[in-house]
Structure 1
Amino acid sequence: MYSSLVEGHMRELYASLSEKDRRRYAAVEAEKLGHGGVKYIADLFGCHEDTIRRGQQDVERLPDDEAAGRVRVKGGDEVLLALQSSVWSPPWKRSSSSTRPARR
């Protein structure tokens, strides 16, 4: 549907975007093409058709998008922050043997 030169530029742009923006860009490109656009764009970008469908849902909610400034789900960094905290330690490094499950 597009020339190989344009497809190359589209792939380069797609690769430079965040995960959320990739979904949305793919969704808009698929919408421009109409019937068969989702499959064509999924093949072009090497992504799953469901990713494009999720991007279509994202685009429909754009004015009311509560995640407008975020790339990932809210709270996704809590585990990372806990791991970096000097107070928290993983269960296998805790000194108390009572926290360990019994071996069978």
Structure 2
Amino acid sequence: MSFPYKKNIEKSMKKFYDSLCEKNKRRYAAIESEKLSHGGVNYISVLLECDPKTIRQGKKNSPN
């Protein structure tokens, strides 16, 4: 798996994610995964230490 973000950016993303409530965590993870092409869900789930199901749920619940 390639890592599109630099380590300092990943650290900031994780810190921000950890500060959010559960609903907003799902939404944030979904948005970040959408920014990436194929493999975005897996990359973000590893980075943010969340289940890929969390990201898919966020995608389902986010207004397009």
- Provide TM-score, normalisation by structure 1: 0.57
Q: Could you list the runs of 5+ residues in structure 2 that have no partner in the other structure?
A: none
CA RMSD of aligned residues (A): 1.1
Using the aligned pairs only, state the percent identity: 48
TM-superposed CA distance for 1:49, in Å, is 0.4
> Which of 53, 56, 59 matches 1:56?
59
> Which of 41, 46, 60 matches 2:44?
41
Q: Which has the larger radius of gyration?
A: 1
Instruction: Find the aligned partners of 2:15 and 2:50 in 1 and give their Cα distance.
Output: 14
Give 1 or 2: higher helix fraction. Answer: 2
User: What whole-Å deviation, never above 9, does each CA across 1:76-95 have from its counterpart, x for those lacking one?
Assistant: xxxxxxxxxxxxxxxxxxxx
Other-structure match for 1:9: 12
- Provide TM-score, normalisation by structure 2: 0.91
Letter in 1 for 2:53: D
TM-superposed CA distance for 1:34, in Å, is 1.9
Instruction: Find the aligned partners of 1:16 and 1:46 in 2 and give their Cα distance.
Output: 14
Map of 1:1-104 to 2, 5 A cutoff? Answer: 1-59=4-62, 62=63
* Larger RCO (CA under 8 A, 6+ residues apart): 2
Following TM superposition, where does structure 1 have runs of at least 4 consecutive aligned residues deviating by more than 3 angstroms? none
